[in-house]
Amino acid sequence: MARWKAFGAEARATFSARIGELIDHDNGAAERDRRVVTSLPDALVLATTALFLICSTLAIFGWFTLWAVIPIFVVSLVALRWLMPIAMPLASSGAVTAGIAVVGAAVWAAVQLPFASEYFVAIRDPGIYLLSGAAIANTGGSPLDVSAAHALAAQFPELAERPGAFAVSDDLTVRTQGNIGLPSLIAIGYILGGTVGATWVNVFLGAVGLLAVYGLARRLVGGAWALAPMAALALSMPYIYLSRTTYTEILTLLVMCAGAVWLISGFARHRSIDFIVAGVFTGSAALTRIDGALGIAGALLGFVFVLIGVGRTRADAGVGRAALQFALPTIALLGLGTLDLVLNMPRYLSDQLANSRPLWAGTAVFALALVILSLSPLGRKPLEFVAAHKPIAIGAAATLGLLLVGWVSRPFWLEMHEISKGPYQNAVEGLQLRDGLPIDPSRSYDEYSLWWYGWYFGWPLLLIAAVGLCLWLYWAISRKRAAHIVILATVAVSALLYLTFIKITPDQIWAFRRVLPVITPAILVGFAIGLRLLAGFGKWGRIAAGAVGLVTSLSILSTWGQIFFEVEGSDQGQEIAAICEASDGADVIALVGPGAPANFALTLPSVCDTQTVTIWEPGALDWAELASAADGRVAVVSFDDGAVPWSVAPRTATATSEVHFWQRHLLETPRTTTLSVRSVFVGFLNSDGTVTPAAG
């Protein structure tokens, strides 16, 4: 009997031990799952930014192909796990909110994809970037070769090889404008999904941008509160519009927020690779936009403040080394972005030199100051006068508060007149006439810059954000948070320029893009800080915070109406796809210029990858002689079927499009769209000078 009792006791002990192992295993698996989910927003941001850097670098030198991108990206994914920022606490609530953020971003993208812009005509920046992406997909680089079109056009006074407003360079290429960063990613969309895939790219970038904002916010206010700025941005008209349409500012926002996240990580664990990655991300803004140097200058200035002692603790003794680790890759990427413009967009660079020189000079001064201070004793020990952080913090926060009051009050006491160039004055005057505003073409409306946030996000958000920003600045200085000093200096430099002088045609929603990449995330994080502070005042504070959140949500949603469901540039994607399909096999496309959309002569060679000439006088042209002179088959594209000598009348148009564009305003948000209906006809030129309609 005793033997059986001993056996039973041993069995119970073994069973209990086994159950304990299973429980420990389950707890370990749960912890791993939480770690994966919690880190997923940062991982997606890191992978997306790596893909962007790979595509940009290859495209700058004309080496872009999918077969080069894929293996490099796969190899980089293996290395990226070592570049992740410091892990967030593994509380279950953190994993839940991170999961909500990722799922929310995915759902947001799925909702936006059907309404992705089809801006396939280069009348504004989105069309230019979309077509540049097509050119990269077809050629591996940005310049568009028009040598064969030039040779043909030189034989006929009625022809031109110039694609609309874009000049032909001496090397017989066409170079548009802007950096190659976003177009290189759009090229992947073209290769994988044609015109539809190209329009989806910026929507996906917008989803990752939301995660970047969430990743930054949760390091200040925690995971749950970080959902507030992410949600406000996700629902807002500016972010949705600029994500649906191929604007570079979405990508700039993504990399700047990513740089801030890795910077916080670097100061938290004093790891060199974090500062290097933060520098790479911040510097890569120069690959997205020519004014990306503005954010770079702000970050370098922030490090200068830290080096002299603002926000430093004893644990930051190695800040001189950290500053150099951040600055060197930042400056290197700024150099790469400038090289991109020198190689691929020299005319655009020349046109922008007047604005770029002061920006580059300021960046150089801050970089030089950073290097000198880093290598001096200040790199190890700050100045004594900044030891009293509290008075500095109070003064800085008060100054910021006064500045915000000044900005928001400007419409009551100031009129800005910064529009000087003729074309921009014409645009402003036309909008003033249509909206019934006083006619003054020089009006730039810069004084309304902070009001835009009231229009799009609601005045309660702006008020709470103002309080939160002042508290953020006070806390960063008084509690000696060096990373946040750098982040806020970056925001300050951008805000001092773009909230004072918007430097762009002031129509909405176009003008908001100036303040989106750097200023808007900071304002929304400030809103989260203020909201969390309000909720800390007991029961009534939580009720007030909930009420503010509800009012803010309703304010943001109230800007929408039927316009939410309108596609900017609708039907233009299927239009150009139909033209390319109908003209397949042609060696040359002859576009009948009269009646065609502006700059459509750039759309055809970019997307269809076919040499294109424009016929400006179809009635005077000897069509038979054109057929004889052309080296190969000629497809004729016309938006006026009466301008073409058809062999038989076309039974139907190749494509008929109903093209909507959001209506622009100066002092209100978009509410309606314009509509134009057009039909395009494609045929092939015969040796006798007649044109046979394309099949289908």
Q: Give yes or no: residues 71 and 170 share one domain.
A: no
Of 354, 385, 416, the domain-final residue: 385
Beta bridge partners of 673: 662
Q: Give yes or no: residues 363 and 215 share one domain.
A: no
Q: What type of residue is 469?
A: L
Q: Give yes or no: residues 214 and 339 share one domain.
A: no
419 in a structural domain = yes
Task: Assess contact for 177 and 132: CB atoms under 8 A.
Answer: no
Of 361, 385, 409, the domain-final residue: 385
* Domain count within the chain: 4
242 in a structural domain = no
320 in a structural domain = yes
Q: Give yes or no: residues 220 and 299 share one domain.
A: no
Report the alpha-carbon angle 376-380-385, nearest 5.
90
- How far from 468 is each of 121, 465, 545, CA to CA, in Å? 42, 5, 13
Q: What type of residue is 257?
A: C
28 in a structural domain = yes
Q: What is the pLDDT of residue 293?
A: 94
- Cβ-based neighbours of 290, under 8 Å, separated by 6 or more: 178, 179, 337, 341, 348, 349, 352, 356
Q: Which two tokens stand for residue 213?
A: 């904002």
Q: What is the pLDDT of residue 695?
A: 79
Task: Assess contact for 616 and 594: CB atoms under 8 A.
Answer: yes
- Cβ-based neighbours of 372, under 8 Å, separated by 6 or more: none
Q: What is the pLDDT of residue 173?
A: 87
- Cβ-based neighbours of 536, under 8 Å, separated by 6 or more: none
- How far from 73 is each of 52, 59, 70, 605, CA to CA, in Å? 10, 14, 5, 29
Phi then psi for residue 695, to 5 deg, are -60, 145
Phi then psi for residue 475, to 5 deg, are -65, -40
233 in a structural domain = no
Q: Give yes or no: residues 5 and 130 share one domain.
A: yes
Q: Give yes or no: residues 1 and 134 share one domain.
A: yes
Q: What is the pTM of this model?
A: 0.93
Q: What is the pLDDT of residue 206?
A: 98
Q: Which two tokens stand for residue 55?
A: 């595509």
606 in a structural domain = yes
Cα 580 to the center of its chain, rounded Å: 29
Of 535, 560, 585, the domain-final residue: 560
Q: Give yes or no: residues 2 and 102 share one domain.
A: yes
Q: What is the pLDDT of residue 194?
A: 95
Residue 167's nearest CA partner among 347, 341, 338 is: 347
- Residue identified by tokens 């229009």 is 455
285 in a structural domain = yes
Distance between CA 362 and CA 356 in Å, rounded? 10
- How far from 512 is each of 203, 219, 303, 452, CA to CA, in Å? 18, 26, 28, 8
- How far from 307 is each of 273, 302, 317, 369, 551, CA to CA, in Å? 19, 9, 10, 10, 42
116 in a structural domain = yes
Q: Which two tokens stand for residue 245?
A: 């349409």
Q: Which two tokens stand for residue 136?
A: 């990269």
Q: Give yes or no: residues 93 and 154 share one domain.
A: no
Q: Give yes or no: residues 336 and 434 share one domain.
A: no
The pLDDT averaged over each successive group of 10 residues in the chain (696 residues) is 51 46 52 84 97 97 95 92 82 81 98 97 92 93 87 91 81 87 97 96 98 96 94 97 97 98 94 96 96 96 92 76 96 96 90 89 95 83 65 94 97 92 88 94 95 96 97 94 96 96 90 96 98 91 92 94 94 96 95 94 94 94 94 95 94 96 94 95 96 87
Q: What is the pLDDT of residue 175?
A: 86
688: part of which helix (H) or strand (E)? none
Domain span including residue 135: 1-142+180-225
Q: Give yes or no: residues 478 and 610 share one domain.
A: no
